[in-house]
Amino acid sequence: MTQHSPVVRTVLGPDEIARALTRIAHEILEANHGSDDLVILGIPTRGVHLAARLASRLSEITGEDFDARTGALDITMHRDDLRDRPTRASHPTRIPASGIDDKVVVLVDDVLYSGRTIRAALDALADFGRPRAVRLAVLVDRGHRELPIRADSVGKNLPSARSEHVSILLQEIDGEDAVVIEGGAA
């Protein structure tokens, strides 16, 4: 009997990820008609690092300091799968000092899949105030939505089978930048 090894394909490398984040930064500024009242919140874990990179791009483009307007939003206690997987690491929520009331909050995540993570993020966000608008920026949208949630800015639309696994590798965590799909057999 022959063993099949999983097929691993790299679909984005470091340069493509950098370009995608630059494009997303421009899309955010265009949709918002500038940088007024923007707050960037990353969803742990990789969304926090992507949010920091996005804030850096926004600072480069606008000349404004986005570090003070960037934070993290822990969604652990708002997930709908807690009873299935009750032990989860929680991450500190860091809301910028300016708060989120009447601001345009951009939620940043690595992969948009079912939409359940974003639903949890919207619930968590309500604990901290009432934004004027909430936008969503993701590096990869792989489809298969279970909830009516759509990203406003997407680095790469990546149609994939449910049986495939999409991994985002980031320098800050994994020592390299890449988006890979694993699935199928060789």
- In-domain check, residue 32: yes
- In-domain check, residue 110: yes
Q: What percent of the chain has pLDDT over 70?
A: 91
pLDDT in tens, 14-41: 999 999 999 999 999 999 999 999 999 9
Rounded distance between C-alpha atoms, residue 105 and residue 121, angstroms: 11
Average pLDDT over residues 133-156: 97
Average pLDDT over residues 159-183: 95
Query: Is pTM beyond 0.85 here?
Result: yes
> For position 128, what pLDDT does the model report?
97
HSE value, Cβ hemisphere, 13 Å, CA-based, for 77: 9
pLDDT in tens, 104-124: 999 999 999 999 999 999 999
The boundaries of the domain holding residue 46 are: 14-79+92-161
pLDDT in tens, 60-96: 999 999 999 999 999 998 887 666 665 566 789 999 9
- In-domain check, residue 177: no
pLDDT at 3 over 90: no
- In-domain check, residue 40: yes
> For position 6, what pLDDT does the model report?
75
Q: What percent of the chain has pLDDT over 90?
A: 84
Q: Domain containing 50 — which CATH number? A: 3.40.50.2020
Q: Which token pair is 166?
A: 């999409």
- In-domain check, residue 18: yes
- In-domain check, residue 128: yes
Which phi and psi angles does 140 have, rounded to 5°?
-135, 135
pLDDT tier at 5, thresholds 50, 70, 90 = low
174, 179, 184, 186: CA torsion to nearest 10: -80
Average pLDDT value over all residues in the chain? 93
